[in-house]
Structure 1
Amino acid sequence: MHIVISTGQEAASWYGELKSWQGALGSLFGFVLLIVGALYNFRLNRRRDALLRHEEAQSTVSALYAEMTLLRRECARIARLVTNRYNDHGLGRIRGEEAFDRHFLEMLTLPEPVLYPALASKVGLLPPDLALALVSFYSDFEEVRAGIPMLLSDETRGYHYSVLVVLRPAIDAVQGVPPTLDKMASFVGKTLNAEQLDLAEAEALRSEEEEGFEQARAGRTTN
């Protein structure tokens, strides 16, 4: 009888302790569930944000792809016009002492980039190699724009600019960007081939001018 009473007392004591811990255990269990739920929601939010950033990056690339394609054609047009004009003047097909005049430069008008300035803040969403290639293309394009007025002779300047001031960045913008356009198309899930633009004569003139500069530099070094 004594043993039964002792066991009953121990059970009552154990039940009392369990009852006293019941609230704490419930709170702990609820806290754990709250943490698990918060972590799960955080993961879902991160996946959603990553998806939104990727979609935004794809939209940016699609828009810039279209603009770069048009500007690339314009650079090819400028390179051909400058090359033909320079060669025609050298062959005596154009009257006058200078190959380039104000009227000819009016034909070399280039459009202002519209989408790139508007989307420049989004370029950081792109892969680093793609972002760098985009910046390089638009830098070449702006160099072409800046070089066109330099083709015009200016007596106050005291020297003349070579056609390389336009041909070099124009050819680089045309010939250097196809791999970038391919990457951009792949980034948005499309298979597109960059348009083939023939600049054989412009490239030949560029090589000729660069070779002339190298020979002149070598001559000055020798003297």
Structure 2
Amino acid sequence: MVTTADFLNWLGGLQPGVSSFLGSLTGALGGLIAVLIGALFNAALNRRRDDRLRKTDATAVALALQAELFTLRETFRRNTESASDQAVGGRHFIVTTISQSDLIFFRLGERITLIKSEALKDVVSAYLAIDNYFQVISIISGGDVRLAYGGRAYFHLSPGQVRLYAEATKSMQQFFETALNALKRQQ
């Protein structure tokens, strides 16, 4: 077995250039190992920070969508109640559409992918239902569409059409409820 004293004697017996080379090689190797350890540690810190930021961003997106879907659900609930009251009274009813440009969902872009896929399916279904809402109301009203300020459309519904509208808006509420529950489960 080689002892430290034997190693130092061997090293002292070498030519000066060789021992200098071995010292430089040892120092460079130690420096390389230190740099690699530092890089790996830095990468781990960056990954943790990125994960934390991604989770915070996902929470913000989910909360924004929850707030929007809650508002839409309540709007459709009030419209259903109001339309039902109008239908019972035999009165006409005016319905406005929801403009896609007003919705947060369509402004999120790729940030929507921060939502987990199980919840995203239900959220997208709710927004597709909103997109189909215009077509459903157009069919119910017989295509009597008028444009209002801001590019929104409104429909004038007769008492018979109001009943169909109330049923359509009631079914819309279920899409919102499902999406809201999915977003709550994500958090």
Same fold flag (TM > 0.5): yes
Structure 1 position 51, deviation (Å): 0.8
Query: Retained in 2: the 8 A contact 1:147–1:166?
Result: no
Residues 102-141 of structure 1 aligned to structure 2 (within 5 Å): 104=93, 106=94, 108-112=95-99, 113-141=102-130
Verify: 1:13 aligned to 2:13, yes or no: yes
- Equivalents in 1 of 2:44, 2:35: separation in Å? 14
Distance of aligned partners of 1:18 and 1:65 in 2 relative to their CA distance in 1, 3 Å threshold: same
- Equivalents in 1 of 2:139, 2:178: separation in Å? 30
- Equivalents in 1 of 2:58, 2:11: separation in Å? 66
Deviation per residue, 1:11-60 (Å, 9 max, x gap): 63258544431101110110111111111111111111111111111111
After the TM superposition, which of the residue ranges 75-84 and 59-68 deviates more from structure 2? 75-84
Count residues with an aligned counterpart: 161
- Equivalents in 2 of 1:19, 1:48: separation in Å? 43
Verify: 1:184 aligned to 2:173, yes or no: no
- Equivalents in 1 of 2:11, 2:30: separation in Å? 25
* Match of residue 45 from structure 1: 46
RMSD: 3.4
After the TM superposition, which of the residue ranges 10-19 and 115-124 deviates more from structure 2? 10-19
Structure 1 position 147, deviation (Å): 1.7
Letter matched to residue 122 of structure 1: R
Higher relative contact order (CA closer than 8 Å, sequence separation 6+): 2
Structure richer in strand, relative to its length: 2
Letter matched to residue 39 of structure 1: L
Report the TM-score when normalising by structure 2: 0.68
Structure 1 position 166, deviation (Å): 7.7
- Equivalents in 1 of 2:29, 2:175: separation in Å? 62
| Greater Cα radius of gyration, structure 1 or 2 | 1
* Match of residue 154 from structure 2: none
Query: Secondary structure of the equivalent of 2:108?
Result: helix
Q: Any unmatched runs of 5+ in structure 2? A: 1-7, 145-160
Letter matched to residue 140 of structure 2: L
Structure 1 position 175, deviation (Å): 2.0
Structure 1 position 184, deviation (Å): 2.3
Structure 1 position 164, deviation (Å): 6.3
Structure 1 position 146, deviation (Å): 2.6
Distance of aligned partners of 1:94 and 1:9 in 2 relative to their CA distance in 1, 3 Å threshold: closer
Verify: 1:74 aligned to 2:63, yes or no: no
Structure 1 position 68, deviation (Å): 0.5
Deviation per residue, 1:93-115 (Å, 9 max, x gap): 649xxxxxxx63x2x11443432
Query: Secondary structure of the equivalent of 1:143?
Result: helix
Structure 1 position 123, deviation (Å): 0.8
Distance of aligned partners of 1:68 and 1:154 in 2 relative to their CA distance in 1, 3 Å threshold: closer
Query: Secondary structure of the equivalent of 2:13?
Result: helix
Percent sequence identity is 22
